[in-house]
Amino acid sequence: SLCAQSDALTSPFFTARMAATDLLEVQKRKLEDNDAAEVDGGDTASKRAAGMTLVPMLVDSSLAIKNEDFSMDLLRIYYDRLFPFLQMFRWLSYRNDPKSSGPGVAKDFFLRREFTFVLEGDIFCRYLCFRDVEEFRSQMLSRMPIRMEIGAVFTHPPKNHTTVIKDAYKPVERELVFDIDMDDYDDIRTCCHGSKLCLKCW
């Protein structure tokens, strides 16, 4: 089984939603900042002292992305232009670059990492592995997963798991992951429940 799930890191919907949430949060902080810079030629404190009424900045709630806004076209754009392939590769290979000529580099380290792609329709593609960042990117754009799960580093490339003696195919390294779901907080949340999420939850 896979040892680690990276939904929060790799979900296109979550990433886009968090970008919108961050923008809303910045706007909210601007409203609450009593030490704001000059507004219309005078600072906030002086306007309050003069008895002027400050008009709060309006937050455009349409910036928040909803589930129904998801589309495969947007997903393709996300993978093609925004997904951090190189950063993911650097993280998951731990400097074991297959193109490196340095001593002590395990050139097949990333190739021995298991991935699972979940395609539209809840189709699971397990035992995937990639030689380098170029193949990783190519396969992501080709298969267009709506979710990706990151597994352990094994003794052999996962795609060869059926050709390796069962006792010889073992995980040798994995990340420690704490998976906390929003519905775990339903006993103490007063605003939302289940998988629903608002700014207060975040």
Look up 179 and say whether it is catalytic: yes
Distance CA 2, CA 127 (A): 9
Contact 174, 150 (CB under 8 A): no
Residue 157: CB atoms within 10 Å: 21
- Predicted confidence at residue 46, as pLDDT, reads 47
Look up 181 and say whether it is catalytic: yes
The pTM assigned to this predicted structure is 0.61
Burial class (CB in 10 A: 0-12, 13-18, 19+), 144: middle
pLDDT digits (tens, 9 = 90+) for 77-101: 999 999 999 999 999 999 999 999 8
- Predicted confidence at residue 199, as pLDDT, reads 87
Q: Which one-letter DSSP state was computed for residue 22? A: H
Look up 108 and say whether it is catalytic: no
Q: 11 CB contacts (<8 Å, ≥6 apart)? A: 147
pLDDT < 70 regions, the chain: 1-68
Q: Which of 181, 183, 184, 186 is catalytic?
A: 181
CA distances to 22, 57, 68, 124, 177 from 44, in Å: 24, 13, 40, 55, 45
Q: Which of 173, 179, 183, 186 is catalytic?
A: 179
- Predicted confidence at residue 153, as pLDDT, reads 98
Identify the CA nearest to 92 among candidates 19, 170, 177.
177
